[in-house]
Structure 1
Amino acid sequence: MAIKKHILTLHKILGLATGVVVFIVAITGCLWAFRAEIESTYDQYKKVVPQDQTILTPTQAKFLAGEVFPDNHIHGTLFKKADDAIEVIFYDAEPEFYQSVFLNPYTGEVIQVDNHLTGFFAFVLKGHIRLWLPKDIGEQVVGASILLFIFIIISGFILWLPKKKKNLKQRLKFDWKKTTRWKRKNFDLHTVVGFYICSFALILAFTGSMMSYKWLMYGVYKSFGGDKDVAFIIPENNSEPLVNANEIPMDRLIVKLMKESPEATAYELHYPTSENESIYVEVSNSEDLFYDADFRFFDQNTLEEIETTSIYGKYKNGKAADKIVRMTYDIHIGAIGGITGKIIAFLVSLLTATLPVTGVLLWYGRKYKKKRELDTVKFDYNN
């Protein structure tokens, strides 16, 4: 009992300290769960009429989009199916700039320009990862709070465990009557709901912490026997730069990959930042999933494929530890389980947001009760 009292004290202190952060992160995570499905209802501009002619090359797409934002850095160009627009993605860290230019793959016409830093889901994401605070401050606050939330979940489960087995049923259901007071209902909401979602909430919190802290991801990777670099590594070319070449080899790469992997859903090509750096292409093998993508690297002069020492290579070549770490984001948003997984992530996030609220009400109710009892004692003494 003495140990449980200490655990309860720690649970309350950590809960009060992180409650607001956990509430915001949970609510925004809940809203983010079906982002892809919601956005697909109003992104018809990304579709084009297929034509029986060759599509733009990566060099042409880079040039045409570069005319829209000549002073910004192109992160990569996304090629999809014959009826999809080409998306040229611009990204700069300082000052933060993240926009996409959509091109007709046959004519080069600019169809649409999207600013990924504005709009509803951009607002939601900023709240989720940094509480709408400056990046350096907000990300640290969120990261530390969710790491502490893991201990809150574990301590909450320990506190939930009944002393006697006969009291177990009471902890598993809402046994409310007309005479049940709101304090009892609030206690049940906190404990019963907390029990049923604790395992899922722990997974969401832990995967979120893995993305926040590289040391945690590294530790998980090594604990599963991983022996590669966890960081993203782009290998260098194997050949010398071409002199007076009649064509740019990179411009043949996308067509080559489309023939090799026709079942792929997208091919995101990243332009080399120097003459020594290889080209890397992220080949997506599933819609709205990231873990099973193939990261492929090619000599920019010969298009010879180059292997990387990182876990981010071909998915089929990865070991169990590589695949587990690469699944982190898809597990975190529930996409790993398809629409069912997203529904679970949605509900768990929504119910997690209730825990800080019911927890604060529990704390307030007990504190107010003690204060009222103390005031009653004083009144009796004075009379």
Structure 2
Amino acid sequence: MTSKKKNNRRKRILQIHKILGLTTGLVLFVVSITGCLWVFKEEIESFYDDYKYVDVQDQSFLVASEIKKIAEKIIPNRTIHGVVYGQPGEAIEVVFYESEPEVFYQSVYLNPYSGAFIKRVDNDAGFFGFVLKGHLRLWLPDAIGSRVVSYSVLLFLVIIISGLILWWPRNKKNWRQRLRFDWNKNTRWKRKNFDLHTVVGFYVSSFGLILAFTGCVMAFNWFYFIAYKASGGSNDPRFVIPESEQVIASTIASSYPYDQLIPILKEKYQNAHSFELHYPENDTTSVLVEVSNSKGLYYNMDYLFFDQYTLKEIETPSIYGKYKNASFADKVIRMNYDIHIGAIGGLAGKIIAFLSSLLCASLPVSGVLLWYGRKYKKRKKHNASLVIT
């Protein structure tokens, strides 16, 4: 390829990089800043979540049907998403969730031994509720904001790739310049800003690609499906809740077989962190219990389904079943959220995710300053030439 063709190609890539960067810059800045704040949500909340703990007592937890009755009196006429049974010294959390006509997402914390009310929490409010709304939809109506964020993150993949192409030095003597800050007292701010954009951009690019890719997996069903199939997946990637056996509902009108599930599962999964039971939605659906095997992680959870009448365990064709039965592709997709927030790597992984997201937020800022500086410089030169003539 001739030098002229290379220059023309580089100019086209630069134009694409510039247009996409300026178009999505503000969105990506907000998404990145809110993302790095969200990473340490659990750690920050642990400083003021005393209501989540109770004194351990030498007696059994209340059964799921009793918990359901108590919670429905506190928040009537709302749908219970599930009830979370934790360790002996932890309160029971009853999660209420409805997505229509508008999002209703609240939790009620109860004493697991007596059922005494401890606290009602609006999960969609407060500081982290505000952060999440900004991260997912820029505090705009969901129908508008979520689309703007989703497509901006998708375009961020193109921005990173085009940026790496532009970063690649044309000759060997420029390698050092692209890999480190070589500043002195005479270095002008425009040069420093250029280095901040290119050097920081290079080092954060791999992490930025991971954050953007995992974000797209959550944002687009088609992206999720392609990512799963590309990694060799063959199971149903959807979350499938199998049906129970058909029986006459009146025969069990006064009994709740699922009350037996938590005691049984606690004996079977003695090292589990928590159990989240989901009540059957109707007379035919099965009972779902999510077994959390690690605190702060979601990918290695066991999703267990039981006939709501006989408690017979039912297998699911979905990737969301027992973790030990998951294939490589299943595990990759199930790890997506934990990778996105860095939890997959423990505290070190979260620190990396935090710093990566924060540095990604700096790229739109330095990019706009870079564009403005060049544009202003051209205007200044043009105006100066007019004055001289």
Using structure 1 for the length normalisation, give the TM-score. 0.98
d(CA) in 2 for partners of 1:54 and 1:198?
52
d(CA) in 1 for partners of 2:271 and 2:28?
40
Which residue in the other structure is 1:153 paired with?
Answer: 160
d(CA) in 1 for partners of 2:56 and 2:78?
30
Unpaired runs of 5+ in structure 2?
A: 1-6
| 1:176 and 2:220 aligned | no
Q: Secondary structure at the match of 2:74?
A: coil
Give the partner amino acid of 1:105: P
Give the partner amino acid of 2:160: I
| 1:267 and 2:289 aligned | no
Percent identity over the alignment is: 56
Which residue in the other structure is 1:321 paired with?
Answer: 329
State the 1:240 CA deviation. Answer: 2.2
Q: Secondary structure at the match of 2:187?
A: coil
State the 1:83 CA deviation. Answer: 0.8
d(CA) in 2 for partners of 1:314 and 1:165?
52
Alignment size in residue pairs: 381
Which residue in the other structure is 1:376 paired with?
Answer: 384
Which residue in the other structure is 1:44 paired with?
Answer: 50
Unpaired runs of 5+ in structure 1?
A: none
Q: Structure 1 residue runs of 4+, over 6 Å off?
A: none
d(CA) in 2 for partners of 1:335 and 1:241?
45
State the 1:239 CA deviation. Answer: 5.0
- Pairs within 5 Å for 1:103-182: 103-182=110-189
Give the partner amino acid of 2:181: F
State the 1:80 CA deviation. Answer: 0.8
d(CA) in 2 for partners of 1:166 and 1:182?
22
Q: 1:57 aligns with which of 63, 80, 101?
A: 63
State the 1:92 CA deviation. Answer: 1.1
State the 1:243 CA deviation. Answer: 4.2
Q: Tell me if structure 2 keeps the 8 A contact 1:299–1:305.
A: yes
Which residue in the other structure is 1:210 paired with?
Answer: 217
Which residue in the other structure is 1:230 paired with?
Answer: 237
Q: Tell me if structure 2 keeps the 8 A contact 1:241–1:301.
A: no
Instruction: Encode CA deviations 1:195-238: one digit per residue, 9 max, x unaligned.
Output: 00000011001100110001011001111111111111100013
Q: Secondary structure at the match of 1:237?
A: coil
Moved more, 150-159 or 88-97: 88-97
| 1:87 and 2:88 aligned | no
d(CA) in 1 for partners of 2:83 and 2:113?
15
| 1:347 and 2:355 aligned | yes
d(CA) in 2 for partners of 1:257 and 1:191?
53
Q: Secondary structure at the match of 1:65?
A: helix
Using structure 2 for the length normalisation, give the TM-score. 0.97
State the 1:242 CA deviation. Answer: 5.5
Q: Secondary structure at the match of 1:112?
A: strand
Which residue in the other structure is 2:316 paired with?
Answer: 308
Which residue in the other structure is 1:26 paired with?
Answer: 32
| 1:298 and 2:294 aligned | no
Instruction: Encode CA deviations 1:290-329: one digit per residue, 9 max, x unaligned.
Output: 0100110000011110011111111110100000001110
Which residue in the other structure is 2:258 paired with?
Answer: 250
Q: Tell me if structure 1 keeps the 8 A contact 2:249–2:283.
A: no
Which residue in the other structure is 1:5 paired with?
Answer: 11
What RMSD over aligned residues (CA atoms) do the two structures have, in Å?
Answer: 0.9
Q: Tell me if structure 2 keeps the 8 A contact 1:35–1:121.
A: yes
Moved more, 229-238 or 340-349: 229-238
